[in-house]
Structure 1
Amino acid sequence: MGYLRAVAALAALVVLSACAKDVGDSDRAIQEVSYSHSSPPSLTLLTMVHNTTGAGGHSSLLINGSERVMYDPAGRFKTRAVREQGDILYGVTPAVMKRYQSFHARDTHHVVIQEIPVSAKVAEIALREAIKQGPSHDAMCAANTSAMLKRIPGFEDVGSTFSPKGLSRRFGKLEGVVETKYYENDIGQN
C-alpha cells in the first residue's frame, strides 16, 4: 500500500510540474524595460479582496530596490510595457503600477496596498528570493509569496499560508507598514 501511495504522489508531482507557467522573456528584453524608482527601498504587498465577502483573491509583492519589479505569482496581468520572467514583472513604472491596480480593482474587488520601508540590502535580497522562487502554479500566489518572504531578514515571522487575506493580516502586523486601499467601480474591462 505504501508503494502505491508513493507512485501516486510522484505522478501528481509530475502532472503539477507540467502545469507550471513557462514564462520567460529574454534577458535583453528585460534590460530594455528595467526601471529604477526614485523612492526609498520598500516592499509592498498587494492583496486583491472581494468587496462583498472580504475573501482574498490574489497576492503579489512590489519590490523597490535597485530596480522596481513586481513578484506576481500565477498572475494574469499582461501589458506590452513590461517583460516577465519566472513570475517577475520588469519595468514597473508608476504608469504600469496604476494599470496593475486598475486591472485588479473593479466593482467586485479592491486592492489592499501595504508598504513597508526596508534597507537597500533587504530589497536586493527580496529580489533575489523572488527570482529564486520561480514560476508558480495557479492558486499558489499567497503560498509562494509567504514562502519567499520567510527567507528575507525581518520577514521570517510572516509564516506560511495559502490565504491571500491571511498573508495580508500577517504582513500588516509588521512594524512600519502603511496601508491604503484602491477601489474602482467598473466591471473589470481595463
Structure 2
Amino acid sequence: MVRAIALMLLLPLLAACGADNVYAPLAEVDRRAYRADGPTTLTLLTAINNRSGAGGHSALMISGSQRVIFDPAGTWHHPTAPERGDVIFGITPTMLEFYIDYHARPTYHMVSQEIVVSPDVAEQALQMVQSHGPASKATCGQVVSGILRDLGFNQVNRRWYPDKIMRDFSAVPGVREEKVFDDTVDPHSPERPAVARITDDGFETTQG
C-alpha cells in the first residue's frame, strides 16, 4: 500500500516521461546515422524544475560509432531523427540543439553531464539501449540509472528520481557538467498549448 501511494506521488513529478512504441524503418535509421568527431562519450541529460529543483526527465546520449540519445518514455520527436524503441538516431549538432531546446524552457533547465569513455564502453552502451526496448511511463530514471550502473558506474544507484541520478553521476571522476536555461516558449515546447499570449515581458498562460 505504501509503495502504491509513493508511486502515485511520483508520477506527477515525472510528467515529462511519456511512453510511445515507435519503430522507424531500419533503412531510415541507417540513412540518418551520425558519428560525432572527438572522443567517445556518455552524456547524462536531465531536465530540472526551476522552482523545486526536482528532476522531470532523464536521458542518455551515447557517442560511439554513432551518436544517439536513449530517451526512455520521452516525448521529443523530429522527422529527421528516426526513433526505434526509445533510441533516437541521427543526433547531429542541430538535432542535439533541438532536443535541449525542447526541454529547456521557462519552467525547466537542462543539465548535461559528459564523461569520456573507451570505445568499447560506448559500443556496449549502444548495444544495451538498442536491445532494451520502449520504457513504460515515468520509468526514465529507473531505466537510465540501471543502464549506467550496468556499465560499471557504481556511484549511480538505481533510482526513480532524475535529480538524484544526476547527483550520483556528478560523483563519477571526470564528469563535466553544463547547464542550459531558456526563458522563451518555442512553438514546439510542451508548454505551448498553455500559452495565451507572448508579450515583451514574457508570456501569459491560460492557467492561473
Q: Please indicate the TM-score interval, normalised by the length of the shorter structure.
A: 0.7 to 0.9
| Contact preservation (8 Å) 1:104, 1:188 | no
Corresponding residue SS for 1:144:
helix
| Contact preservation (8 Å) 2:19, 2:75 | no
Q: Runs in 1 of length 4+ with deviation above 6 angstroms? A: none
| Contact preservation (8 Å) 2:19, 2:74 | no
The 5 A counterparts of 1:19-38 are: 21-38=20-37
The 5 A counterparts of 1:21-100 are: 21-100=20-99
Amino acid at match of 2:135: S
TM-score by length of 1: 0.87
Higher helix proportion: 1
TM-score by length of 2: 0.79
How much does 1:95 deviate? 0.2
Unaligned runs of 5+ in 2: 1-17, 189-208
Corresponding residue SS for 1:106:
coil
The 5 A counterparts of 1:121-136 are: 121-136=120-135
| Contact preservation (8 Å) 1:72, 1:89 | yes
> What is the total number of aligned residue pairs between the two structures?
171
Deviation per CA, 1:64-97: give whole Å up to 9, x if none: 0000000000000011110000100000000000
Give the Cα–Cα distance (whole angstroms) in 1 for the partners of residues 78 and 86 of structure 2.
14
Deviation per CA, 1:136-190: give whole Å up to 9, x if none: 111100100011112113x133120000001100011100000010010113533
The 5 A counterparts of 1:94-173 are: 94-153=93-152, 155-173=153-171
| Contact preservation (8 Å) 2:155, 2:171 | no
Corresponding residue SS for 1:126:
helix
Deviation per CA, 1:83-123: give whole Å up to 9, x if none: 00010000000000000000001111000110000000000
| Contact preservation (8 Å) 2:42, 2:117 | yes
Identify the structure with bigger relative contact order (alpha carbons < 8 Å, sequence gap 6+): 1
Provide the identity percentage.
37
Give the Cα–Cα distance (whole angstroms) in 1 for the partners of residues 187 and 168 of structure 2.
31
Unaligned runs of 5+ in 1: 1-18
Amino acid at match of 2:173: E
157 and 133 in structure 1: CA distance in 2 versus 1, 3 angstrom threshold:
farther
Corresponding residue SS for 2:164:
helix
Amino acid at match of 2:117: V
Deviation per CA, 1:35-64: give whole Å up to 9, x if none: 000121000001000111101000000000
The aligned counterpart of 1:175 is 173
| Contact preservation (8 Å) 1:43, 1:61 | yes
Give the Cα–Cα distance (whole angstroms) in 1 for the partners of residues 41 and 93 of structure 2.
15
Give the Cα–Cα distance (whole angstroms) in 1 for the partners of residues 19 and 55 of structure 2.
22
